[in-house]
Chains A and B, each alone.
Chain A
Amino acid sequence: MQMYDLPDIHGHFGPYGGVYVAETLMAALDELKREYEAARHDPDFQEEFRHELRHYVGRPSPIYHARRWSKLLGGAQIYLKREDLNHTGAHKINNTIGQALLARRMGKKRVIAETGAGQHGVASATVAARYGMECVVYMGSEDIKRQSPNVYRMKLLGATVVGVESGSKTLKDALNEAMRDWVTNVESTFYILGTAAGPHPYPMLVRDFQSIIGEESKVQMAEMLGRQPDAVIACVGGGSNAIGIFYPYIPVEGVRLIGVEAGGRGIASGQHAAPLSAGTPGVLHGFRSYLMQDANGQIIETHSVSAGLDYPGVGPEHSWLKDAGRAEYVSINDDEALTAFHNLCRYEGIIPALESSHALAHAAKIAPTMDKDKILLVNLSGRGDKDINTVARLSGIEI
């Protein structure tokens, strides 16, 4: 593959990405672009970022061979990149530390964030407490119901959680509301966007902060096995954990990259959150990418058992990787994800996030079709403690 150096200076990944925002935000995005460009080449910034990842987050996260589960499946060996062991329990903190350091560098004392499952909200509230910033988190009222433990965690950390009642009351509406806050308070406020989406430079900077996942994986796989995996598998909502583990592997030949979208009740049912599998390109939330939309260009309501994947768009770089044929995108339904969730609990003693369970389920689907010496590396992007109420309810159990 030829050298990969996207996005271009305008934030485009081929026809995707870009800066589709109201004029009021253009100056703020220009400022962010300049500041990030400087920070990127500033050894002190990079050193502080790495230091925080090591001492505050607990990186590097280990890679673990899920030996029992692999044996049971009877095919390829499944390895897990343990982002669930990070401080706050998911990969989201890698990005919020990077953005909070940028906010501090830019002199912003107030940060805002959107959240779906609550993981990014918690990670934002955490860094706001860590660096002494005011934090407001927008969360759809439907998600507040589904993820009440995370709502309380954010409050414990000193954040204000604002319920969003508009639209489908989920992640996309929280993002709309965060954008509205930002446009109103643009001079005092830094918007900590939670996924590798939104207007340029967000998709690039979130990817760069999350790339630590793939960078570590390359070193760890070489040390552990003397080789790289045959496939890297990650769940894709907005796509930040996936791009974080994929990006360093893009130029590595022989490594398949597989993104797993939320198939909900099945692609054919229309009740899913899989724009790469069943959507068309369009413009939403400041960027061009595959979207779930109707013939009039209205955004369709999505469904997934996992609040963190319940989003009608996807980061623009994934759209590009799909069209370019460098990554493959598949979908996993709610019930398949739940089965993988239970199996990882029972066979490996790890409670995975429902989001990550989609990636696990796809690994479980393809492993039996592969030889025993093949290697699958799954990004276990978060832990599932936050999901136990949802899983219990779906199993008909009161807790």
Chain B
Amino acid sequence: MSRIASVFATLKTQGRKALIPFITAGDPAPDKTVPLMHALVAGGADIIELGVPFSDPMADGPTIQRASERALKYGVGLHDVLAMVAEFRLINTATPVVLMGYANPIEAMGWDRFCSEAASAGLDGVLTVDYPPEESAEFAAKCAAAGLDNIYLLAPTTPDARIEAITRLAHGFVYYVSLKGVTGAANLDLAEVAAKVGAIRARAGLPVGVGFGIRDGETARLVANVADAVVIGSRIVQEIENSSPDKAAENVQNFVAGVRAALDK
């Protein structure tokens, strides 16, 4: 069983929901990322989503765009991000790490090289925003062969037949984008999310995570009532942005612990 699958299995027996925080690798500086990852776990993260900085993050709102820009000032590339995962694994072998990013850095590295380096770094999954299943069958096969879960997105606009097709291809979990818009937007319609996630769970044999627009423990708790996992990104990146670099880990840990407490209520 993959690390991701076993995390969901354990949580299920405990009747708890997964908390998946997101940070951008290299933000606010490359040497802060691994300490931040440990802080996320200390705060109660079950899975870590690690953003790969990209020059043209089309699906991201201003908060995560700025995080990418801060990381790119240090020239943080995909090789560096995988090295951070490997460093995290020296201490933590339990918490799954999923990369979230765009196709081009993976294209530049090459699929074979990416899969082999990612597997040896101890990465668990990869979510590539602009690789829909139509364009990524070969990449997905290479990921599977390397033991990496390919995480696909589903959206409010995804028709039912397509939900079925995508969940058949998915591994680990599926990620439901809870609103039409970019990351960090704030117009989440909980009733709509509940209806759509219900429809997805009826079709998917996999856990369903929900992200985009979740900004506090209370919203996280409400979303977790209908989903298996809650993803929080922009709000955590904001915490990093508003902290002095030395305080970022502590502040992020406190924030995540607050969400964790709300989820476990």
Do A187 and B180 have beta carbons less than 8 Å apart? yes
A277 within 8 A of B: no
Q: Give the residues in chain A near B102, CB-CB below 8 Å.
A: 283
A186 interface neighbour in B55, B180, B185, Cβ under 8 Å: B180
User: A10-B134, A27-B158, A166-B65 in contact; A293/B177 too (CB < 8 A)?
Assistant: no
Q: How far is it, in angstroms, between the C-alpha of A167 and the C-alpha of B57 when the chains are bound?
A: 10
Task: Tell me which of A24, A166, A173, A293 contacts B156 (CB under 8 A).
Answer: A24
Q: How far is the CA of A225 from the CA of B191 in the complex (A)?
A: 68
In the assembled complex, B153 has its CB within 8 A of some CB on chain A: yes
A97 on the B face (CB < 8 A): no
Q: Which residues in B have their C-beta under 8 angstroms from that of A24?
A: 59, 153, 155-157, 177, 180-181
Tell me, in angstroms, the Cα distance from A204 to B177 when the chains sit together: 29
B129-173 contacts to A, CB under 8 A, are 129-132, 134-135, 152-159, 162
Closest Cβ–Cβ distance, residue A325 to chain B (whole Å):
24
Q: Contact: A298 with B54, CB < 8 Å?
A: yes
Q: Quick check: is B205 within 8 A (CB to CB) of the other chain?
A: no
CA distance A135 to B19 in the complex (A): 41
Distance in angstroms between the alpha carbons of A27 and B56 in the assembled complex? 22
A10, A283, A291, A297: the one contacting B109 at CB < 8 Å is A297
Contact between B108 and A282 (Cβ–Cβ < 8 Å)? yes
Select one of A25, A183, A187, A293 contacting B104, CB under 8 A: A293
Query: At the interface, yes or no: A19 with Cβ under 8 Å from chain B?
Result: yes
What is the 8 Å Cβ interface bit string for chain B, positions 74-93, against chain A (1 contact, 0 not)? 01011100000000000000
Interface residues of B (CB under 8 A from A): 53-59, 61-62, 65, 72, 75, 77-79, 102-109, 129-132, 134-135, 152-159, 162, 177, 180-182, 185
Task: For the A-B complex with A23-B157, A281-B107, A283-B107 known, give 19 more contacts whose Cβ atoms are closer than 8 Å.
Answer: A10-B134, A19-B135, A23-B158, A24-B180, A28-B157, A167-B55, A173-B56, A180-B58, A180-B182, A184-B180, A282-B108, A283-B102, A285-B56, A288-B107, A291-B104, A293-B104, A293-B108, A295-B108, A299-B104
Nearest 3 interchain pairs by C-beta: A297-B108, A296-B77, A297-B105
